[in-house]
Amino acid sequence: MVAAALFALYATFLLWKIYATHSQLREDVLTEIRLEAEKRSEAVSYFLSERQNDLRDLADSQDAANFFANRDLGMSLEYGLALSVQAVEERFNRVKGQKLLSGQPIYRDLAMVDANGSLLAGGEDAPKKLKSFLTPNSRAAVLLFRPSERDIVITAPIWFRERYRGQIVAWSDLSAFQAQMVGAKPDGNQALVDAKSAQPVAVEAGSPFLLPSLQNIVSAMKPGSSAFLGGSSGVAGGVGVIKVAVRGSPMALAILVTESQLEQRSTPMGLLMVAGAVPLLVLAGALVLARQKQRHQALTEEKGRLEGRNTELEQEIARRMAVERELRQRTEELTHAYARAEAASHAKSQFLANMAHEIRTPMNGVLGMTELILDGELSEEQREYARIVMSSGQGLLTVLNDILDYSKIEAGMMKVESVEFNAREAIEQVVALFHKLAEGKGLAYRLSFTEGFPERIFSDPTRVRQILSNLLSNAIKFTASGGVSVRAETRQRDDRRFIAISVRDTGIGMDPATLAGLFQAFNQADGSITRKFGGTGLGLVIARNLCQLLGGEISVESTPDEGTTFHFEIPEHPPEAAAPESMPEEA
């Protein structure tokens, strides 16, 4: 930008300098035109001199000499001399063909004339009177400008054997000559004029050189001089005139200098204005370039930033892919571990189920025998011992049953039925079973049914009893005072009906942490509970699993030291039940 501004300043200074010297240039231009004219005049002089040489050569030629020699010998045209004439004319033809100016013949005609002015050879277009061209007193070729005839005549004397014999005469068209000398398309501002009278040799009508006022000025001028034209010259747009002599001839070259010519040759205003626009253009160009550069820089920076971000993203992607790979790997490992654990658990459950079954069978035997013993004659002490055996055995059996059930559930082998049965009756039966136990602990014990509780539902009666038994057993176990109540109702959700049973106690309750792990296996509230209340910790897990298998759900609310309420609900009809099997009424 700075450079451009400096350049603009410098260019402006230059323009001022140019303009300042414009006037001086005008003067110099006139001088230049004059010098050019002098050069051209020299060319014209040379040309004319060469024409004179041509004629001298012809006059001195062997063919001309042979003619006069044969004529001297007395030969007649009819017998021999015509051959000499032929030779001269052949030479004339060669000269006409060879001497050209811009491709046009210089000589219109050539003739050999004798000392009396009679035509001897050539001269087909020659005038009848040829005596005027004789120069018996000269040895040199002569130029005659004949504006009236519009031609130039060059004539050279023939001297043979020291006697004047005649003349070689050549005619050349003046207008063609002038056109060649002053330009093929004369612009009307140049003309060949008579040096003395300033009469133009051949110009078109309307030429300024025909003006008497201009002719007066030119005729008064010395050759090689220039003059400024005033208003009186009558030449529109004319600034000056230059006159240059054509050496070796009576002619001069007159050149009119016009205002437009001066402008053309000096620094034209148009050029100045265009040149003046150049520094502005340069400045504008520099500005555009600077902006371009700026934008380019910004784009480059943005590009760099984007490339950096790109690299970061690529790195992040690589990192995440590595993490993914690790996760996949670990997931795979975990899946394997889980499968192994599941397999192990399944194996264990299978083992437990087998073991429980193996143990239960002899246990039933023991209990059976013990019952028989109790039916017999026993002392009080024996009877006491037998009762303890019976109680222990029953307790062990309960544990084994729990273990078996849990194992079945874990192994996925637990099956539930879907039969029609009297739910109300089943619930009453289970509640009745624990009546004595509750009464023995001094607890209030109540069962209620809401209105509309269905008589018959489709589900698994054994498992429903089992769930309720488990909940009642726990409620009574963990309640020292107060009471246990069971409430059975129906619920409608979406288009399905459920039976909902709540078992409420006023027992020890549980804190939220205990509630969270309640339905997990082997998880009694804490170790002290197990010691105090016994149990395997499997009951609620089994109850929840059974609920879910029946299409229902179990939940609990509890407050420590205030009591606990277990809710479970099961659908009256299982969702996929087709034609549920009706179970006969059982006692």
Binding site for another protein (CB under 8 A): 62, 65-66, 69-70, 73-80, 82-87, 89-90, 93
> For another protein, which is the closer residue by CB, 88 or 229?
88
Least distance to another protein from the beta carbon of 81, Å? 8
> For another protein, which is the closer residue by CB, 105 or 188?
105
CA 458, CA 583: separation in Å to the nearest integer?
Answer: 9
- In 3D space, the residue among 357, 545, 394 whose CA is nearest the CA of residue 460 turns out to be 545
> CB of 573 within 8 A of CB of 423?
no
Least distance to another protein from the beta carbon of 102, Å? 24
> For another protein, which is the closer residue by CB, 85 or 251?
85
Least distance to another protein from the beta carbon of 185, Å? 34
> For another protein, which is the closer residue by CB, 64 or 254?
64
And the tokens for 484?
């246990």
Least distance to another protein from the beta carbon of 162, Å? 15
Helix axes 380-410, 539-549, angle to 10 degrees: 50
Least distance to another protein from the beta carbon of 157, Å? 20
The residue type found at 93 is N
Least distance to another protein from the beta carbon of 76, Å? 5
And the tokens for 309?
């971000």
> For another protein, which is the closer residue by CB, 66 or 180?
66
> CB of 95 within 8 A of CB of 53?
no
> For another protein, which is the closer residue by CB, 87 or 431?
87
Question: Hey, CA dihedral for 306, 308, 309, 313, is it positive or negative?
Answer: positive
And the tokens for 376?
């017999």
> For another protein, which is the closer residue by CB, 29 or 87?
87
Q: For residue 40, how many C-alpha atoms fall within 13 Å in the half-sphere facing its CB?
A: 22
Least distance to another protein from the beta carbon of 51, Å? 25
> For another protein, which is the closer residue by CB, 94 or 496?
94
| Percentage helix, strand, coil for the chain under 3-state DSSP, each rounded to 5 | 55, 20, 25
And the tokens for 67?
């003619």
> For another protein, which is the closer residue by CB, 86 or 582?
86
The secondary structure of residue 184, as a DSSP letter, is: S
Least distance to another protein from the beta carbon of 62, Å? 7
Q: Where are the beta strands (DSSP E) in 190-261?
A: 190-194, 225-228, 238-245, 251-258
Least distance to another protein from the beta carbon of 94, Å? 11
Question: Hey, CA dihedral for 536, 541, 547, 550, is it positive or negative?
Answer: negative
CA 269, CA 262: separation in Å to the nearest integer?
Answer: 11
> CB of 390 within 8 A of CB of 420?
no
> For another protein, which is the closer residue by CB, 79 or 381?
79
CA 491, CA 457: separation in Å to the nearest integer?
Answer: 13
Residues 6+ apart with CB under 8 A from 175: 150, 202
Least distance to another protein from the beta carbon of 89, Å? 8
Place of tokens 């109790």: 374
And the tokens for 566?
């277990």
Q: For residue 31, how many C-alpha atoms fall within 13 Å in the half-sphere facing its CB?
A: 5
Q: How far is CA 370 from CA 15, 358, 359, 382, in A?
A: 138, 19, 16, 11
Which helix (H) or strand (E) segment holds residue 496: the answer is strand 496-505
> For another protein, which is the closer residue by CB, 14 or 82?
82
> CB of 112 within 8 A of CB of 88?
yes
Least distance to another protein from the beta carbon of 155, Å? 24
Least distance to another protein from the beta carbon of 65, Å? 8
Least distance to another protein from the beta carbon of 168, Å? 18
The secondary structure of residue 217, as a DSSP letter, is: H
| Residue 438 dihedral angles phi and psi, to the nearest 5° | -65, -45
CA 551, CA 519: separation in Å to the nearest integer?
Answer: 17
